[in-house]
Structure 1
Amino acid sequence: MYIKRVGAATCLRVLQLLFLAVIWPSIGSAQSVCLPAPRLLTTLPMGGQAGTTVDVTISGENLDDLGELRFSHPGITATAKVGEEGIPLPNQYSVTIAPDCPTGVHEARIMSRLGLSSSRVFSVGNLPEIIATESHNTLDTAIPLQVNSICNGQMKAKAIDYYTFEAKAGQRLVISSAAEGIDSKLKSVLIVADEDGNDLQVERRGGAIDFTPEADGKFVIKVHDLTYGGGPYYFYRLALEEIPADAAVPRPASTRNVNAFSWPPTNLATTAVLTEVEPNNASTKAQQITLPCDIEGSFFPAADVDTFEFTAKKGEVWWVEVASERLGLPTDPSITVHQVKKSGDQEEEVDVTQLSDIPSPVKVSSNGYSYDGPPYNAGSSDILGKVEIKEDGVYRLRLTDLFGGTRNDARNIYRLIIRKAQPDFAIVGWALHMNLRNGDRNALSKPIALRGGATMPIEVVVVRRDGFDGPIELGMENLPEGVTASGLTIPSGKCCGTLLVTAAENAPRGLTSASLFGRAEIDGKPVTRQGSYASMAWPVTNAWSEIPSPRLLADVPVSVGGSENTPLSVAPTEDKVWEVTAGQSLTIPLTLTRRCEFSGPTMSMKTFGEPFDKNGAFDVSLEEDSSEAVLDLAKLKPAPGLYTIAFYGSAVAKYSYNTAAVAEAELALEAVKKSAEQASEEEQQKAKAAVTAAEKRLQKVKKEAAPKDIVDIIVSKPIQIRVIPAIEVTSK
């Protein structure tokens, strides 16, 4: 058993159980990797207009005893909708968006029995909105759409959604469909057609259609998935907007890719100092610049080459950074630098360097799920590198989009910065993924929703800027009561570390918006940098059939469910700093708190934290209450100092889901049976139906609560070790 408390069922609670009409997806025998986590999968609609109130219906996984629907911005609030009898309507909320709430994408999450769920995008716009609730898969059933409005829709499989609108000659309209950028699985295809449905313009790459009719008339919009997929996870926000003739085509607000965490550099101005000036493709028309510089430009038109020319002196080192892909654009910047040497009328360009991608700080998973690396790529096709000047002279820098010959979009902008070294760093974290069993193809969204006694490992990687190579201390602040965070320092010259978030066994139910940070010393001064956090947009249980889609989150919520404890806690027998002399061995006795049965007699454990991660694997008994770990410092050779480590492994628990629900369902069944006995003849039919419903619910929750084998990551409570220098003995 893992349940810490089973509250007495009140009459209201019994009625609520009977009125729950929505059945959440079952835990089921297919769930075999990682303990159940609460996940919000859909909100309908997917957003709303600032200054309005909208009714929202949600769905998800492992969502029991629902509480507050929360948003990452305080300008969005929600209250549960209540029916005529004062009972909350299942999964329905009234969401109020403040008039001054920023437009764009925000995070929506639901508080559940297991803690705060994973997030789903909730968009805020400034146009009136409608919801497509009726079938509109033919021209005859097309939904009329007003210019300057948004429609929230869900695509059916093998279907096309139809809309109609009225437009005037010369009126410039932009039709866009926000989908992948708001967590949808839809790969949107947009078509503008005439009144009879004959196609006029088509966009198959998820972009917008810039449409100006030649005559007044009625027109048709068609929307479908690229491969005609559909279902509740194929949602979209269709916008029809009029813009001025000389305005740039707007892009729908979108989530940020994981690699965007490394942009912008600290203290960078919002706008660039200089603007790229065309024509500058040819060497003879190179744009003259003086270093350092900050330039904004665009990869436009197709196959654009932007050439910049500057003078530099021998011994200078310039750092070059380009942001374009990290701005959310489909670009791949590339730079070549040449020295220009002249002899009379002759000119020669001598290769100096070529700059391209920012490599991922750590090896990325080769297949998107199995842990030969994380399924998160923090690298980018943008540029961060240096140019070393070997001779005084004139130099040319050419900036291109590697595959720009097929792209002709003025919105594909870039920011080019050339600077003297400004050492710095940026960090991003995500829930640790491990290959927990043979054939494991999971890439799961893992909210920081903690069970009592659990330690959750967060993998943190760093992009180092302009030669910074020092150690980085990791931490997390503003945590719920009973929750602590211990950072395992990213060592000097390394790119990866671990943050351990631990909930005490008796940690109460709670929720905060936490802050992930890294601290280091740069040029003799302490600096702190706020970190970003990433998650899978969808829980992928079989990455052979679905490509994982990770993204950055807007915030870092940490919660404690307060209803369950973790199946197994591992901790040192004493909460102290363990001291050991360099070159000796340290034995750490461990206490194992087991709250269920396990498959197999032992669990193999390894060690987090350099250089102790080189310690060999060791077995821990799953049938005893104690064990020990031995660290041989003669082999590990740690320098004297204070270290934080933890032991980790995986075990197969006989896990039971929400056993408290069984007791509640039994009480509910008993209550409706008593009511049925007292019911009049006219009420007997309804009473029998209520008994049948209560019996089915009891069967369902018993099935879910039946023990199932689930393999999960087990991490010990963090352990501090102080290595004391060995005393050298000299003979007289």
Structure 2
Amino acid sequence: MTYRRKKSTAIAFAHGDIACRRSRSDSRTHVSANQAAILRSLTFVTLVLFGVPASTWAQSVCLPAPRLLTTMPMGGQAGTQIEVTTSGELLEEASEMVFSHPGIVATAKLDANGAVVPKQYVVTIAADCPPGVHEARMMTNRGLSTSRVFSVSKLPEVVQSGASASPESAMTLEVNSICNAVMPVRAVNHYRFEARKDQRVIIDCAAQGIDSKLNPVLIIADSEARDLRAQRRGDLLDFTAPEDGTYMIKVHDLTFNGGDTYFYRLALQELAADAAPERLPSTAQVNAFSWPPLGLPAAAALTETEPNNQHTETQSITLPCDIAGTFYPAADVDRFEFTAKKGEKWWVEVGSERLGFPTDPSLLVQRVDEEGEGETLVDVVELRDIASPVTVSTNAYSYNGPPYNAGSADVLGVIDIPADGRYRLQLTDLFGGTRNDPRNAYRMVIRKAAPDFVLVAWAMHMTLRNGDRNALSKPMALRPGSTMPLEVIVVRRDGFDGEIEISMDNLPDGVTAHGLKIPAGGSRGIMLVTADEGAPQGYARASFVGRSEIDGESVTRNVHLASMAWPVKDGWSEIPSPRLLADVPVSVSGVEVAPLTIAAREKKVWEVAAGEKLTIPLVHYRRSEFSGAAMSVKTFGAGFDKNSSFDLPLTADSSEAVLDLSKLKTPPGDYMIAFYGSAVAKYVDPPAPNAAAGAAPAKPRDIVDIIVSEPIAIRVMPAEKS
């Protein structure tokens, strides 16, 4: 039997061009220098001011925001009570520590005299609190802080209190326990444990997957600290004791960095000889928001069966199907064969990278034409990456988008069957020749069209110069009178092309959210969250959803929220590490108001005929001084994003915005818009609540910050017929 492959007749890529490849640091955390997206075609708009002199970009970026940077320990065992010490920025006078799960509750630690111990809390973890990663935050007078991962386990946990930089000072660990620790600079931490002959133990180190900056190296050694095995790629160590005795674990950073932000959780667990090891829980990368498809069972109906690498060994399947398999061993090629009829459309989705594995699936479908005793394989379609719905940052000399990538190296696309017959599907890991790990799993679903959508959002980031990514972790901590924009991104499944309405509910008192309708076929939009000037201090866990109609039925999908794990002010010095959050917290500051609020003079629906000009009077509520006399303002909103920029005076209390619909060609309909830009404010830090009387006032400093207008409703009427 012979095989000949004809020249490809149709090559298609899921959702557009192939996305840029991502570098990967370990099996749980994939970090990329190309993780950004540019804001386009937004149904709602925001007000950020451009045209600022280049010299001002060296100033502080964004108004001060509270940030929780570390907790010690970083988690605890369900059903226990532990003491947690915190550190961060602008956490002075924090009123409480809050968590994303109601089963974790904190109270301030008190000393022997009943006085509050600063930065320390007693945390109670309910026995039924689910194991995994949760979010910890601090409530401050500036609102809720950014989050830090707080892990819950089923194992007893300890905190390393002393140094263990030598074999002589090694800390003793019990098998089936977790140790919370911090890595000192230029150091190796040592641990000892007892093991029986043939006892299998798994040693795992949670670090980057729990927001740590540590790139861990694990070494297991004998009682004399002589190395036996090492793992330098962030993976776990699977070790079976050759004899009864004492063994050592060494942990260090790959480049021997260290400090408070190089924390980790070291797990030592016994495992049966035939059991599969599991990694410690970790956060999900941003692109994981698009997996799994709605209604996908926990386990696949079919399993890939080896051998299926050769054309003579193809595994027969019947469509539709749901198959679980692995890219193993190295250079594995999995082949499946099915029959289909002309005109059928089958949607294929492969999940692997979005499951947390360092893989890059590639799928090829070919028609099998029989010719005597031989076969000819004719290419039908080739599917690779799911391209990001928004442009990925180049991280070049000018920063061109937020550092988030909603795309994936996984597969999502359609097979158009050109003729009745037999078809062969080939699935590979594009760079699998260098990977030889049986845990590199995939899930492949082939289905008839099941139109759907998934959503992710993040705080809008500014456009800066000189490669400054402004990749700041941004809590939704609103100052009264301010509006915060969130960019909302949609990944559409199986041909869904409908309009999506975004909404946010369960907000703090005095806070409103103005969502948008992502237009049919659109991929992005803006959610505006506004705090009234009189909004009281407070917080709430918001409900953030998107609604649409699919096949005549109303459907609702949650919007996932993403943020930076750490503030990165210069993308050339550190690669941003965005991740998904567990919840959507919204809070209001109680210490100061926004430096500038811009709104339409009247809160009404502004009407205009198609093809006419609309002039909207604006009012400026100025509470600060600004550098420069005017700012260039742009407009966002579906049908209005191409509006010409205009100058907004910084020294006046009013201005006008002009929308020329003859140039915009905006069709009749109802719209919400806003104006956006960034300005340099002369910011003065408010006095601390416990500041001494008569203390010298703080000197003003330059702050570059996003300023967002209140949303404005517009109705475009049909043009009058002449």
Q: Structure 2-normalised TM-score?
A: 0.90
1:725 has 2:718 as partner? yes
1:320 matches 2:348:
yes
- Residue of structure 2 in register with 1:226 after alignment: 254
Residue aligning to 1:672: none
In the alignment, the residues of structure 2 paired with residue 95 and residue 368 of structure 1 have an alpha-carbon distance, to the nearest angstrom, of: 44
1:115 aligns with 2:143: yes
Amino acid at match of 1:148: N
Task: Give me the whole-angstrom Cα distance separating, in 2, the residues matched to 1:439 and 1:319.
Answer: 39
Amino acid at match of 2:620: L
Correspondence for 1:359 among 387, 393, 397: 387
Which digits, 9 at most, give the CA deviation of each residue in 1:603-643, with x for residues without a partner?
21101102111001111111111111000111111111100
Could you list the runs of 5+ residues in structure 1 that have no partner in the other structure?
A: 1-28, 670-697
* Amino acid corresponding to residue 254 of structure 1 in structure 2: S
1:350 Cα offset (Å): 1.2
Partner of 1:711: 704
Query: 5 Å matches for 1:348-497?
Result: 348-367=376-395, 371-436=399-464, 440-497=468-525
Q: Check whether the contact 2:467–2:571 (CA below 8 A) recurs between aligned residues.
A: no
Secondary structure, counterpart of 2:692 in structure 1:
helix
What residue number does 1:124 align with? 152
User: For residues 157 and 234 of structure 1, what CA distance do their matches in structure 2 show?
Assistant: 9
Task: Please tell me the residue identity of whatever aligns with 2:707.
Answer: I
Structure 1 residue 296, shift from structure 2 partner: 1.1
1:648 pairs with one of 656, 666, 676: 676
Bigger proportion of residues as helix: 1
Q: How does 1:243-262 map to 2 (within 5 A)?
A: 243-262=271-290
Cα distance, 1:30 vs structure 2: 8.1
Residues 438, 367 of structure 1: alpha-carbon distance in 2 compared, 3 angstrom cutoff: closer
Q: 1:369 to 1:92 in 2, by over 3 A?
A: farther
Give SS of 2:354's match.
Answer: helix
Are 2:397 and 2:465, in contact at CA under 8 Å, matched by a contact in 1?
A: no
Q: Shift of residue 40 of structure 1?
A: 0.4
Q: Is the 8 A contact 1:369 1:443 kept in 2?
A: no
- AA in 2 matched with 1:657: D
CA shift in 2, pair 1:368/1:132, >3 Å: farther
Distance 1:464 1:443 in 2: 26
Query: Which residue of structure 2 lines up, in the alignment, with residue 194 of structure 1?
Result: 222
Q: For residues 571 and 369 of structure 1, what CA distance do their matches in structure 2 show?
A: 34
Which residue of structure 2 aligns with residue 5 of structure 1? none
Query: Given the superposition, is the C-alpha separation of residues 581 and 30 from structure 1 closer, same or farther in structure 2, using an over 3 Å criterion?
Result: closer
Partner in structure 2 of residue 665 of structure 1: 691
Equivalent positions of 1:234-313 (< 5 A) are 234-313=262-341
CA contact (8 A) 1:589 1:626 kept: yes
What is the CA-CA distance between 1:438 and the residue it aligns to?
Answer: 5.7
Q: Secondary structure at the match of 2:108?
A: strand
CA distance in 2, matches of 1:389, 1:608: 41
Structure 1 pair 81–46 and aligned structure 2 pair: CA distance change class (3 A): same
**Deviates further, 250-259 or 292-301:** 292-301
Distance 2:367 2:466 in 1: 54
On the 8 A contact 1:604/1:650 being kept in 2, the answer is no
Quote the Cα distance in structure 2 between the aligned partners of 1:195 and 1:30: 53
Structure 2: where are the runs of 5+ without partners? 1-56
Counterpart for residue 31 of structure 2: none
**Aligned equivalent of 1:60:** 88
Change (3 A) 1:459 1:249: same
> For residue 284 of structure 1, what is the amino acid of its counterpart?
T
Query: Given that residues 436 and 650 in structure 1 are in contact (C-alpha distance below 8 angstroms), is that contact kept between their aligned partners in structure 2?
Result: no
- Work out which structure has the larger RCO, using CA pairs closer than 8 Å and 6 or more positions apart in sequence: 2
2: CA distance, partners of 1:30 / 1:585: 39
SS at match of 1:381: coil
**1:61–1:611 CA distance, 2 compared to 1 (3 A):** same
Q: CA deviation at 1:68?
A: 1.4
Shift of 1:368: 8.5
1:167-195 per-residue CA deviation (whole Å, 9 max, x = no partner) reads 11110100010001000000000000111
Equivalent residue letter for 2:365: V
The CA deviation string for residues 47-68 of structure 1, in whole angstroms up to 9 with x for no partner, is 1111111100000112232011
Distance (Å, rounded) in 2 between the aligned partners of 1:398 and 1:440: 42
Looking at structure 2, the residues matched to 429 and 233 of structure 1 have their Cα atoms a distance apart, in angstroms, of 26
Contact residue 59 and residue 704 of structure 2 kept, 8 A: no
Identity %: 64
1:437 offset after TM fit, Å? 5.6
Deviation at 1:660, TM superposition (A): 5.2
Residue of structure 2 equivalent to 1:98: 126
SS state of the match for residue 564, structure 1?
coil
Is the contact between residue 223 and residue 247 of structure 2 (CA under 8 Å) also seen in structure 1? Answer: yes
Partner-residue secondary structure (3-state), 2:641: helix
What is the SS of the residue equivalent to 2:288?
helix
> 3-state DSSP class of the match of 2:574?
coil
Pick from 182, 195, 210: which aligns with 2:238? 210
1:642-673: CA deviations, max 9, x gaps?
Answer: 00000011111111112354xx4234x8xxxx
1:639 corresponds to which of 662, 667, 680: 667
Counterpart CA distance in 2 for 1:420 and 1:404 is 29
Residues in 2 aligned to 1:411 and 1:102: alpha-carbon distance in whole angstroms: 24
Q: Which amino acid aligns with 1:530?
A: N
Structure 1 segments (4+ residues) deviating >6 Å: none
**C-alpha distance in 2, partners of 1:365/1:489?**
25
Contact 1:368 1:443 in 2 (8 A): no
Alignment-mate amino acid for residue 617 of structure 1: S
Give yes or no for contact 1:305–1:398 (8 Å, CA) kept in 2.
yes
Matches within 5 A, 1:47-196: 47-196=75-224
Is 1:547 the counterpart of 2:575 in the alignment? Answer: yes
Q: Counterpart of 1:183 in structure 2: which amino acid?
A: D
Query: In structure 2, what residue type is equivalent to 1:225?
Result: D
Q: Secondary structure at the match of 1:405?
A: helix
Shift of the 110–503 alpha-carbon distance from structure 1 to 2, 3 Å rule, reads same
Shift in CA distance, 369/261, structure 1 to aligned 2, threshold 3 Å: farther
Offset, 1:370: 5.4
- What secondary structure is seen at the aligned counterpart in 1 of 2:515? strand
Q: What secondary structure is seen at the aligned counterpart in 1 of 2:587?
A: strand
Q: CA shift at 1:307, angstroms?
A: 1.1
Could you say which residue in structure 2 is the equivalent of 1:678? none
Give the distance between the partners of 1:302 and 1:414, measured in 2 at CA: 15
Residues 371 and 433 of structure 1 are in contact (CA less than 8 Å); yes or no, is this contact kept in structure 2?
Answer: no
SS in 2 for 1:612: coil
Cα 1:660–1:162 change in 2 (3 A) is closer
SS at match of 1:192: strand
| Higher alpha-carbon Rg | 1
Structure 1 257/280 Cα, relative in aligned 2: closer, same or farther at 3 Å?
A: same
1:363-399 CA-partner distances (Å, limit 9, x unpaired) = 1221199541221011100000111110111111111
Q: In 2, distance between residues paired with 1:439 and 1:204?
A: 31
Is the 2:607–2:717 contact (alpha carbons within 8 Å) kept by the matching residues of 1? yes
How many pairs are equivalent?
666
Q: C-alpha distance in 1, partners of 2:622/2:99?
A: 36
Structure 1 segment 585-664 matched on structure 2, within 5 A: 585-659=613-687, 661=689, 664=690
Give 1:146 shift.
Answer: 0.8
CA contact (8 A) 1:614 1:636 kept: yes
